[in-house]
Amino acid sequence: MATATANRPKQNLTVDQKLQVLRELYADAPEIGKAALKNGLTTLTEELAAPGRAQTAGRIGARQGKVSELTVFLPFVKGGAKRLRGLLELLEGNFRAADAVGTVHDMRFVFVDNDTKLLFATAYDGDFDPYIEDFASKIPNAMDLWLCNFEGYPGMRNAKAAADWIANHQIAAEAWYVNSPNLTAPETRRLEKVGKAVEGLLDQIG
Amino acid sequence: MATATASRPKQDLTVEEKVKQLREAFRNAPEMARVALENALPTLKSLVMEAQSEQTESAGRIGVRLGKVSELTVIAPFAAGGAERLRTVLQLLNGNFSAGKKVGTLHDMRFVFLDNDTRFLFATAFDGEWDPYIDDFATQMPDEMDVIFSAFEGWPGIHNPKVKDWIVKHQIPADGWYVAHPDLSVAQTGRLKRIGKAVDEFLDKLNA
């Protein structure tokens, strides 16, 4: 399953060298791809010239600015898919327990390969290990409740083993884009308050 | 591949009825799970109540939306040579997807290579409905889309009328979708960032 992120030796090439690599690479691409490469050259050149922004989220995963990604495929135990689906249905798809963690931007739960695996993908602030520790210390029950449905899950009380288990199932994204890479979840909450206060102030003046 | 989102008929149950169902569902679960359920029940009850006021909805044609923010998750096979092409493009861009800025409704997106480079996962969070979102990509960054997505089997081209059918065919709607700030669109986040900056400058002036 896991595909290691290839190392990125191509960062040291000049823009022209990068374009050359691309042209060679697309020599045998489908027509659509070849045409797109030709048409999109101007934008591509700008993007190739701009400094790279991809970083890592510590142990595993990609980070852009302050926001990281975590993508895992977890194998269900027997009956696990049914239990998790039932749980998500009752929560109406919305896992508000994560509010307590404070560093989560979004999370999705997707049943794949005929309910044999779950894709869990999340966007969060900072590095992998502190993120998992946060879940372990703040919402261990909620975590055990959904993760107990997978093969080999050691339990959140065993935080280190749980983090290893997650990392073992994780596949680092090859590319990761965030619209506001410098906006953490707490900073977003602060801005929401500032925005409200400003509106209130303007109302008073008006 | 695709697993349909189960219908959600349980929304009309009372919280107590839901808790009962949950206990039923966990009856044959491992010991750890049953303990977790009992421990989590108090929190869970309030979550269920909250969920009733903030439930996920449809993102239009396919996918799930919470508040203003929707999810799109696609898993599809690579075309021959496609994985190598895409990996090289992504490495050369080194995460610099400034083209994404042109689509003003795009929160985040990830590209993940699966199963020894035979399949890939594309997952994104965006504002609003599915159809306008895809239309935005088609008008704002058609070439970038084709450079990337021509790596996949059967990609008809972003201008081809069949492109939406291709995406729908490979999209798997999420059964669970959480967004920390469901009421913040990309545009509103941008506005808040500007307000925050203006307020900071204002306070600096006051303190100068």
- pLDDT more than 90, % of chain A: 47
Within a 10 A sphere around the Cβ of B36, how many other Cβ atoms?
Answer: 25
A70 CB contacts (<8 Å, ≥6 apart)?
A: A57, A61, A120, A121, A122, A124, A128, A131, A166, A170
Query: Which residue matches tokens 């349909």?
Result: B4
Yes or no: say if A108 and B123 are a contact pair by the CB < 8 Å rule.
yes
The complex's ipTM?
A: 0.81
Residues 90-119 of chain B with CB under 8 A from chain A are 90-101, 106-117
B199 CB contacts (<8 Å, ≥6 apart)?
A: A194, A198
B138 at interface of A, judged by CB pairs closer than 8 A: no
Instruction: Give me the residue from B85, B97, B144 closest to A40, CB to CB.
Output: B144
Instruction: Give me the residue from A55, A110, A195 closest to B172, CB to CB.
Output: A110
- pLDDT more than 70, % of chain A: 92
Domains and CATH numbers, chain A: 9-52 (no CATH), 56-169 (3.30.70.100)
Query: Which residue matches tokens 């949950």?
Result: B22
Residue A8 predicted with pLDDT over 50: no
- Pairwise CB contact (< 8 Å): B100 & A111: no
> What is the per-residue pLDDT for B5?
44
| The residue type at B40 | A
The pLDDT mean for chain A works out to 86
Which sequence spans correspond to the domains of chain B?
10-55, 64-170
CA separation for the pair A66, A103 (Å, rounded): 11
- Pairwise CB contact (< 8 Å): A106 & B179: yes
Beta-sheet strand order (sheet of B57-58): A175-178, B106-114, B119-127, B69-77, B64-66, B57-58
> What is the per-residue pLDDT for A145?
87
> What is the per-residue pLDDT for B54?
66
Strand partners, B78: B152
Yes or no: say if B29 and B37 are a contact pair by the CB < 8 Å rule.
yes
Distance from CA of B43 to the nearest CA of A (A): 8
Instruction: Give me the residue from A40, A85, A194 closest to B175, CB to CB.
Output: A85
- Pairwise CB contact (< 8 Å): A171 & B44: no
Residue A2 predicted with pLDDT over 50: no
> What is the per-residue pLDDT for A5?
43
For residue range A106-156, list pLDDT tens digits in order.
999 999 999 999 999 999 999 999 999 999 999 888 889 899 999 999 999
Block means of pLDDT (10 residues each) for chain B, length 208 residues?
Answer: 45 73 80 81 71 73 90 96 90 73 89 96 95 92 89 94 95 94 91 89 86
- Pairwise CB contact (< 8 Å): B25 & A83: yes
> What is the per-residue pLDDT for B56?
78
Please list every residue in chain B whose beta carbon sits closer than 8 Å to the beta carbon of residue A50.
96, 98
Please list every residue in chain B whose beta carbon sits closer than 8 Å to the beta carbon of residue A96.
47, 50-51, 54, 178
B15 at interface of A, judged by CB pairs closer than 8 A: no
Can you list the positions of beta strands (E) in B63-118? 64-66, 69-77, 106-114
Which of A39-48, A175-184, B75-84 has the weakest average pLDDT?
Answer: A39-48
- Pairwise CB contact (< 8 Å): A141 & B125: no
CA separation for the pair A46, A23 (Å, rounded): 16
Query: What are the residue ranges of helices labelled H in chain A?
Result: 15-25, 31-39, 41-49, 80-90, 128-138, 140-147, 159-169, 185-205
pLDDT band at A10 (very low <50, low <70, confident <90, very high): low
Q: Which CATH class is domain B64-170?
A: alpha beta
User: Of B71, B124, B190, B153, whose CA–CA distance to A175 is shortest?
Assistant: B124
User: Please, what sign has the CA dihedral across residues B41, B45, B46, B50?
Assistant: positive
Q: Is A165 exposed, middle or buried (0-12, 13-18, 19+ CB in 10 A)?
A: buried
Which of A8-17, A62-71, B123-132 has the weakest average pLDDT?
Answer: A8-17
pTM for this entry: 0.82
Residues 73-92 of chain B with CB under 8 A from chain A are 73, 75, 79, 81, 84-92
